[in-house]
Amino acid sequence: MSANPKRIEFLARAIVNRLEDRGLMEFSDAEAVITVVVKALSDNFAAIAAIETEARQRLGDRATDTQVEDEMRRIAAERNVIL
């Protein structure tokens, strides 16, 4: 699972804009907040990709998608990560 930086930025902008549009948050510097959200999303996508890679290595080439997902859940639980 590879995350495209442009898509991550688009998602971050959508999150920040939605929070402001709904009146849930108001940011004095939305660009700074977007930068923080981009960093958090990038880190999270990288962690998920690492978990998927480890799951595939543990299971081998013949694993089904369901088996990989189950192994990812086990690895995430070991690391106290919520998927």
Instruction: For tokens 């081998």, name the residue.
Output: 60
Q: Which residue has the higher pLDDT, 37 or 1?
A: 37
pLDDT mean across residues, the chain:
94
Backbone angles phi, psi at 59, to 5 degrees: -90, -25
2 SS3 class:
coil
- What is the rounded distance in angstroms from the CA atom of residue 3 to the CA atom of residue 76? 19
Q: Tokens at residue 48, please?
A: 């998920």
Which residue from 5, 25, 6 is spatially nearest to 15, judged by alpha carbons? 25
pLDDT band at 3 (very low <50, low <70, confident <90, very high): confident
pLDDT band, very low/low/confident/very high, at 65 (cuts 50, 70, 90): very high
pLDDT of 56 over the 60 cut:
yes
Mind listing the pLDDT tens digit for each residue in 12-51?
999 999 999 999 988 999 999 999 999 999 999 999 999 9
Q: Which of 1, 2, 3, 27 is nearest to 13 (CA)?
A: 27
Q: Are 8 and 45 in contact (CB under 8 A)?
A: yes
What is the model's pTM? 0.82
